[in-house]
Amino acid sequence: MTHTCVLIPGDGIGPEVADATKRVLEASGAPLEWVSRPAGVAALDQGHDAVLPQTTVDAILEHGLALKGPCTTPVGGGFSSVNVALRKTLQLYGAVRPVRSLDGVETRYQDVDLVVIRENTEGLYAGIENEITEGVVSSLKVATQNACDRISRFAFEFARQSGRKKVTVLHKANIMKLSDGMFLKAAQAMHESYQDIVLEERIIDAGCMQIVQGPENFDILLCENLYGDVMSDLCAGLVGGLGVTPGANYGADNAVFEAVHGSAPDIAGKGVANPLALLMSGVMMLNHLHRTRNDETCGRCAESIRDAYNLALREGAMTGDLGGSLGTEAFADAVIARLGGGR
């Protein structure tokens, strides 16, 4: 069985980390075939008239699977964000962002093991903004019962399937009584069917403080769109930064795997970006193929890559953002050399 994956290299450090990730996935023997499609500024550079060309969307709809580098949206160019558009068009409503301490990566915390689950399709990202009159603008925060219910179900199902015990909803329902109120109530109602999982609630500001004080007290963090965005970067900071934080966006029929980080223009083209976050996203993709298409080879490859990068990090092979000296390609080589325990 071979799986066709749409590869979207993206912008900035995207092509560098995508290429390194693809090399490691191929070296692991993962049964993947690649179809490369552009998005972001790269799409405009290649002559498309949109940052998210229809051919890219169609390829994902056809194959149900994409590995995506970060995409830049030109500021003030009249384009809406590629990432937001992709998630909305494909109804990739559930983002899963695991945040875990890594041996060999020194941080202020040990034993962090959290998953941020972010609602991906509405909230303040609905893109409804108005200029009411000169000097007065508004951005509308949207919550729908359907989206609140499905992300709640998704979080509890994820908890069950991954053997996790607790979901903490982060909200500001004391201020945004209708929108965050609906989000919170949906989680409470859904919890009736998932009594084996503990449900906790935190007002987002107090929750941030408590996560920083004791991340080990949290398990799954369930957030609406904007809170999930901010919380993902906050949690990334607990374990070594954006270079080690992967992500997956799931819809009913499609899944797009991408790192939490953006295109990092400050280090683009220098060959120093850490490809690990996208590589970890690739491992999530292999586990998804194992789970949903019953492909055990994918499961074995995922395990082999995870063991290899863990070993590399333990042995001090890492990129500059983690305090090491390797560039993007050299780190990918270090992982490849350790596949199968270092042949």
8-state DSSP, 81: P
Report yes or no: 227 and 242 within 8 Å, Cβ to Cβ. Answer: no
- Which strands form 3-8's sheet, in the order they lie side by side? 32-36, 3-8, 65-68, 255-258, 248-250, 94-100, 113-119, 220-223, 166-171, 198-203
Using the rule CB under 6 A, which residue among 120, 263, 281, 304 binds ligand ATP? 263
Q: Residues 6 or more apart from 118 whose CB is under 8 A from it? A: 94, 95, 97, 223, 224, 225, 227, 228, 229, 231, 232
Could you say whether residue 71 binds ligand ATP (CB under 6 A)?
no
Closer of 265 and 316 to ligand ATP (Cβ): 265
Q: How far is CA 328 from the centre of its chain?
A: 20
Could you say whether residue 277 binds ligand ATP (CB under 6 A)?
yes
Residues numbered 293-322 forming contacts with ligand ATP, rule: CB under 6 A? 321
Q: Residues 6 or more apart from 136 whose CB is under 8 A from it? A: none
# chain residues binding ligand ATP, by CB under 6 A: 14
Could you say whether residue 258 binds ligand ATP (CB under 6 A)?
no
Q: Other CB atoms closer than 10 Å to residue 61's CB: what's the count?
A: 14
Could you say whether residue 242 binds ligand ATP (CB under 6 A)?
yes
φ, ψ for residue 319, nearest 5 deg: -85, 170
- Of 54-62, 174-182, 258-266, 334-342, which part binds ligand ATP (CB under 6 A)? 258-266
Please tell me which residue in 45, 58, 205, 253 is annotated as part of the active site.
205
CB of 71 to ligand ATP, least distance (A): 9
CB of 45 to ligand ATP, least distance (A): 18
Closer of 184 and 264 to ligand ATP (Cβ): 264
Using the rule CB under 6 A, which residue among 262, 300, 330, 336 binds ligand ATP? 262
Could you say whether residue 271 binds ligand ATP (CB under 6 A)?
no
Please tell me which residue in 11, 229, 295, 333 is annotated as part of the active site.
229
CB of 237 to ligand ATP, least distance (A): 10
Active site residue 68: no
- Of 90-98, 149-157, 272-280, 292-300, which part binds ligand ATP (CB under 6 A)? 272-280
Could you say whether residue 117 binds ligand ATP (CB under 6 A)?
no
Please tell me which residue in 68, 93, 125, 219 is annotated as part of the active site.
125
φ, ψ for residue 138, nearest 5 deg: -140, 145
What is the residue-wise DSSP string for 35-80?
EE---THHHHHTT-SSSS-HHHHHHHHHHSEEEE------TTSSPP
Q: Give the pairing type, strands 248-250 and 255-258.
A: antiparallel
* One-letter amino acid for residue 113 of the chain: D
Distance CA 308, CA 258 (A): 20
Using the rule CB under 6 A, which residue among 238, 264, 311, 318 binds ligand ATP? 264
Active site residue 205: yes
Give which of 331, 342, 221, 327 is closest to 279, Cα–Cα: 331
Could you say whether residue 16 binds ligand ATP (CB under 6 A)?
no
Could you say whether residue 326 binds ligand ATP (CB under 6 A)?
no
Percentage helix, strand, coil, to 5, in the chain? 45, 20, 35
Could you say whether residue 237 binds ligand ATP (CB under 6 A)?
no
- Using CB positions, name the residue nearest to ligand ATP: 262
Could you say whether residue 228 binds ligand ATP (CB under 6 A)?
no
Distance CA 286, CA 280 (A): 10
Active site residue 229: yes
Using the rule CB under 6 A, which residue among 124, 267, 330, 337 binds ligand ATP? 267
Question: Which residues are at the interface with ligand ATP (CB under 6 A)?
Answer: 13, 17, 242-243, 261-264, 266-267, 273-274, 277, 321
